[in-house]
Amino acid sequence: MNSGVGVIGRRLLLLSLSFLGILLVGTAGYMIVADFSFLDALYMTVITLTTVGFGEVRPLDPAGRLYTILLLFMGVGFVAYHTASFGQLLMDSNLLEIYRRRRVRKKLKEVTNHYIICGYGQMGKIIVRELNRHKVPLVVIDTLESDLLRLQEIGLPYLAGDARDEENLLAAGIERAKGLVSVVAHDTDNVFIVLTARDLNRNLFICARAMTSGIEKRLIKAGADRVVSPYAGGAMRIAQNILRPTVTDFLELALSGDGMALSMEELTIPGEAPLVGKMLMHSGIRSDFNLIIVAIKRSDGTMIYNPSPHETLQGDDTLVAIGPRDNLDRFADQLGGKSPQ
């Protein structure tokens, strides 16, 4: 990209120098052939090269007219040649594409606390759709720019390039990112992306896809916090659909939030929230918001399932709640937001 801009810059410089040169030659010629002053000679050169058709400074003798004809042919040839060559240069170097990519990279510098999605295939599209539906900031990296045109239409930031390239990860703002999801086509590429991402940002949350058995351990060693196996997960869902179809339907609808009055959400209690130090039975979560708390995750990672009404809420606890969507949103607003995103 930089080389293309450099070639265009050199061609523009050559064009400017060439125009200045023919302007000086034309002016000097009129001063010698027609004995014009510098200003008159410059004027005659300009109106001749631009073919505007203004009147002559004074009538020209035959030598002056022959020189004008010669200068006119030189000027027309000059303009035609450089116009054609510059147009070809624009097509070869794809200046508009270079400008657009620079504008995208400039926009990416403003994104912060976001998630980087590496791979915009079948899984990547679903992940982007869901994160965007929940207003989670994200940046997509993929090699097939044709697949990314939809993101451009809806205004989501993306980067056309190889996610294995450290420069592309840096351009996507990995140093300012909150997390990274690697769902490219090949396991070896996912391992390399995770390894590079962890090296660039030690505090990054990383989730990766494992397509083949045994790759999960490699992804964890490379630095992934979570590893998802679509085939194993899909097989388990099929089995649960056979064994517990009602439970499976309920969980899928609750997690998606579509087609039912109840939804499932996780919400984090800030350290300064009024709920801190209160027992669950006195928190007002059930009475004021009609929500059911099915689990509590402590800040140290301890999980408490089906918590007792006497369980004391602590700062940075993550509550897994079920209830009406509007009530969940009201409760989240009171807490100050949802977490994690």
Region label for 245, one of left (φ > 0), alpha (ψ between -120 and 50) or beta (otherwise): alpha
pLDDT at 1 (0 to 100): 46
Q: Tokens in use for 306?
A: 């089906």
| pLDDT over 70, % of the chain | 85
CB 163 within 8 Å of CB 184: yes
Range of weakest confidence among 31-35, 171-175, 287-291: 31-35
Fold (CATH) for 260-335: Alpha-Beta Plaits (3.30.70)
> Per-residue pLDDT tens for 56-80?
777 788 888 888 888 888 777 776 7
Q: Give the model confidence (pLDDT) of 138-165 as tens digits.
A: 999 999 878 888 888 888 889 889 999 9
Question: What are the tens digits of pLDDT across the range 175-221?
Answer: 999 999 999 999 999 999 999 999 999 999 999 999 888 899 999 99
Domain ranges of the chain: 2-93, 112-233, 260-335
DSSP 8-state secondary structure symbol assigned to residue 61: -
CATH number of 2-93: 1.10.287.70
Q: How many CB atoms lie within 10 A of CB 107?
A: 11
Is CATH 3.40.50.720 the classification given to domain 112-233? yes
Q: Is the pTM for the entire model greater than 0.75?
A: no
Q: Which residue has the higher pLDDT, 267 or 76?
A: 267
Q: Indicate whether 7 pLDDT > 70.
A: no
For residue 257, CA distances in Å to 52, 59, 139, 245 come to 70, 87, 24, 18
Q: Is residue 2's pLDDT more than 60?
A: no
Give the angle subtended at the CA of 219 by the CAs of 171 and 156, to the nearest 5°: 35
